[in-house]
Amino acid sequence: MESTFRGRLEKELDRVLKPEVIATIVKISKNIPLKSVEDFCLGYIVGDIISGTFAEARMSYGRDTTAEEMDEALNMIYRRTMEIKGAIKLAMSR
């Protein structure tokens, strides 16, 4: 994955992890009958990042992401999963 693309993905992760963004996702999830608000929020965030990754590749390179790029993006998300979960738990406690 190009460093520019990787940097944009990291910025997208940082954007989604802002307290106000997480708080909005938690607020939305509380109006939906769910077994786990935390799991819903995690899935929402990961889905948002993945769809943003695909969109970024289309806009920047005029193509879909390659399997290798998507694997690297998923690895980046995986490495930051605990951070994402922590942000969700913090927003839920407020």
22: tokens are 């997480």
Regarding predicted confidence, which is higher, 35 or 60?
Answer: 35
Number of structural domains the chain divides into: 1
Query: What's the pLDDT score for residue 44?
Result: 92
Query: Per residue in 35-53, pLDDT tens?
Result: 999 999 999 999 988 888 7
**Range(s) of the domain holding residue 14:** 3-92
* Among the listed residues 19, 13, 21, 26, the one whose alpha carbon sits nearest the alpha carbon of residue 79: 13
Contact status, residue 38 vs residue 88, Cβ threshold 8 Å: yes
Q: Could you identify the residue written with the tokens 């993006």?
A: 73
What confidence tier does 78 reach under pLDDT thresholds 50, 70, 90? very high
DSSP state of 63: S
